[in-house]
Structure 1
Amino acid sequence: MSVLRAFVALLALACGGCGSLSALQRDQAAAIALQARSDVVACQAEDACAQPSPLRALGERAMAESAPGQPRHYALLLDYGQDALVSRLDLIRGARHSIDLQTYIFDEDDAGHLVLDELMAAVRRGVRVRMLVDQLSALKQVDTLAALASAHTNFEIRIYNPVLDRARITYPMYAWAAACCWRRLNQRMHSKLLLVDGLVGITGGRNYQDDYYDWNAEYNFRDRDVLVGGPVTAEMAANFEAFWDARLSVPVERLDDVGRHLLRKGAPPLPDWPYQHPARVEAVARAADDKDLVRERLVEPAIPVGEVLFIADLPQKHRRDRELAASAVHASPLLNQLIESAQDEVLLQTPYLVLSDQAQDMFRRMHERPDPPRVIVSTNSLAATDSFITYALSYKYKRRHLREFGFEIHEFKPFPEDAPIDLDATGAVDISWNPDGSANIGRVEPEPEEGQRRTPPLEREYAALRYAGIGVHQRVPLKRAGVRFGLHAKSLVIDNRIGVVGTHNFDPRGDDYNTESAVIIDDPAFARALGDSIRRDMAPENAWTIARRDRPPVLSGLEYSLTKVSEHLPVFDLWPVRYATSYEFQPGPACPEPLPATDPGFRACYEPVGDFPEVNLGFRTLLTRIFTAFGAGLAPIL
Structure 2
Amino acid sequence: MAQSFHSKQLQTNQQAKGFLIKASIVLCSSFAVGLTGCSTLPKHGVEPVQYAKDIDTSETSLAKIITPLRQQNPKLTGFHVLNDPLEALAARLRLIDKAEKNLDLQYYIWDNDKVGALALHAIIRAADRGVKVRLLIDDNNAKKMEGILLALSQHKNIEVKLFNPYRFRKYRAMDMVLDLKRINRRMHNKSFIADNEVALIGGRNMTNQYYNVSDSYQFSDVDVMLVGAAVDDIVNSFDDYWNHEYAYSVQSIVSPEQHRLRYEGLKEQLEAHYQQATVQNFLNLTAKSHAFDQWLNHNIQFDWVKAEVVKDSPDKIKSKAKKEEHLNFQLINHLEKPESNVDLISAYFIPEKQGAKILSTLAKEGVEVRVLTNSFKANDVAVVHAFYGKYRKELLKNGVQLYEFLPTPDKRDLNKNTDELATKAKVNMKGLSRSSLHTKLMALDEQVFIGSFNFDPRSAYLNTEIGVILDSPSLAKTIHHTMDENLNKYAYKLKLDTNNHIYWQQETPNGPVIYRQEPEMKWWQKAGMKFLSWLPLEGFM
TM-score, normalising length: structure 2:
0.81
Letter aligned with residue 219 of structure 1: Y
Matching residue of 1:34: none
CA contact (8 A) 1:62 1:73 kept: no
Letter aligned with residue 397 of structure 1: Y
Does residue 548 (structure 1) correspond to residue 496 (structure 2)? The answer is yes
CA contact (8 A) 2:41 2:165 kept: no
The equivalent position to 1:208 in structure 2, one of 197, 206, 215, is 206
Matching residue of 1:162: 165
The equivalent position to 1:489 in structure 2, one of 426, 435, 439, is 439
Matching residue of 1:636: 539
Q: Report the secondary structure of 2:200's partner residue.
A: strand
The equivalent position to 1:611 in structure 2, one of 517, 531, 535, is 517
Alignment of 1:552-567 (within 5 A): none
Aligned-pair distance for 1:240? 0.4
Alignment of 1:34-49 (within 5 A): none
Superimposed CA distance per residue, residues 309-341 of structure 1 (whole angstroms, 9 cap, x where no aligned partner) = 2111110112244xx443421x21232345661
Letter aligned with residue 582 of structure 1: W
Distance 1:254 1:311, change over 3 A: same
Does residue 363 (structure 1) correspond to residue 350 (structure 2)? The answer is no
In structure 2, how many angstroms separate the alpha carbons of the residues matched to 1:425 and 1:217? 15
Matching residue of 1:81: 85
In structure 1, how many angstroms separate the alpha carbons of the residues matched to 2:315 and 2:216? 38
Does residue 423 (structure 1) correspond to residue 371 (structure 2)? The answer is no
CA contact (8 A) 2:360 2:400 kept: no
Distance 1:149 1:522, change over 3 A: same
Superimposed CA distance per residue, residues 557-609 of structure 1 (whole angstroms, 9 cap, x where no aligned partner) = xxx6xxxxxxxxxxxxxxxxxx3121123679xxxxxxxxxxxxxxxx85422
In structure 1, how many angstroms separate the alpha carbons of the residues matched to 2:305 and 2:336? 23
In structure 2, how many angstroms separate the alpha carbons of the residues matched to 1:491 and 1:523? 14
Q: Report the secondary structure of 2:539's partner residue.
A: coil
CA contact (8 A) 1:303 1:525 kept: no
Moved more, 386-395 or 138-147: 138-147
In structure 1, how many angstroms separate the alpha carbons of the residues matched to 2:70 and 2:42? 52
CA contact (8 A) 2:115 2:206 kept: yes
Does residue 510 (structure 1) correspond to residue 459 (structure 2)? The answer is yes
Does residue 402 (structure 1) correspond to residue 396 (structure 2)? The answer is yes
Rg comparison, structure with higher value: 1
What's the % identity of the aligned pairs? 23
Matching residue of 1:520: 469
Matching residue of 2:502: 580
In structure 2, how many angstroms separate the alpha carbons of the residues matched to 1:312 and 1:502? 9
Q: How many pairs are equivalent?
A: 495
In structure 1, how many angstroms separate the alpha carbons of the residues matched to 2:234 and 2:132? 17
Matching residue of 1:142: 146
Letter aligned with residue 517 of structure 1: I
Q: Report the secondary structure of 2:117's partner residue.
A: helix
In structure 2, how many angstroms separate the alpha carbons of the residues matched to 1:445 and 1:114? 21
CA contact (8 A) 1:75 1:302 kept: no
Moved more, 97-106 or 383-392: 383-392
CA contact (8 A) 1:158 1:249 kept: yes
Aligned-pair distance for 1:208? 0.7
CA contact (8 A) 2:87 2:286 kept: no
Distance 1:587 1:143, change over 3 A: closer
Aligned-pair distance for 1:413? 0.9
Distance 1:301 1:335, change over 3 A: farther
The structure richer in helix per residue is 2
Alignment of 1:43-62 (within 5 A): 57=62, 60-62=64-66
In structure 1, how many angstroms separate the alpha carbons of the residues matched to 2:387 and 2:42? 45
Q: Report the secondary structure of 2:229's partner residue.
A: coil
Distance 1:337 1:546, change over 3 A: farther
Alignment of 1:247-396 (within 5 A): 247-255=245-253, 257-258=254-255, 261=258, 269-271=264-266, 272-273=269-270, 275=273, 278-287=276-285, 294-295=292-293, 303-321=302-320, 324-329=321-326, 331-337=327-333, 341-368=337-364, 371-396=365-390
In structure 1, how many angstroms separate the alpha carbons of the residues matched to 2:523 and 2:236? 49
In structure 1, how many angstroms separate the alpha carbons of the residues matched to 2:109 and 2:261? 27
Q: Structure 2 regions of 5+ residues with no counterpart?
A: 1-26, 48-55
Moved more, 106-115 or 59-68: 59-68
- In angstroms, what is the RMSD of aligned CA positions? 3.7
In structure 2, how many angstroms separate the alpha carbons of the residues matched to 1:424 and 1:15? 55
Letter aligned with residue 472 of structure 2: D
Letter aligned with residue 608 of structure 1: I
Distance 1:300 1:519, change over 3 A: farther
Does residue 91 (structure 1) correspond to residue 95 (structure 2)? The answer is yes
Matching residue of 2:112: 108
Aligned-pair distance for 1:278? 3.7
Q: Structure 1 regions of 5+ residues with no counterpart?
A: 1-6, 31-45, 51-55, 430-442, 447-453, 455-481, 552-559, 561-578, 589-604
CA contact (8 A) 2:375 2:406 kept: yes
CA contact (8 A) 1:383 1:612 kept: no
TM-score, normalising length: structure 1:
0.69
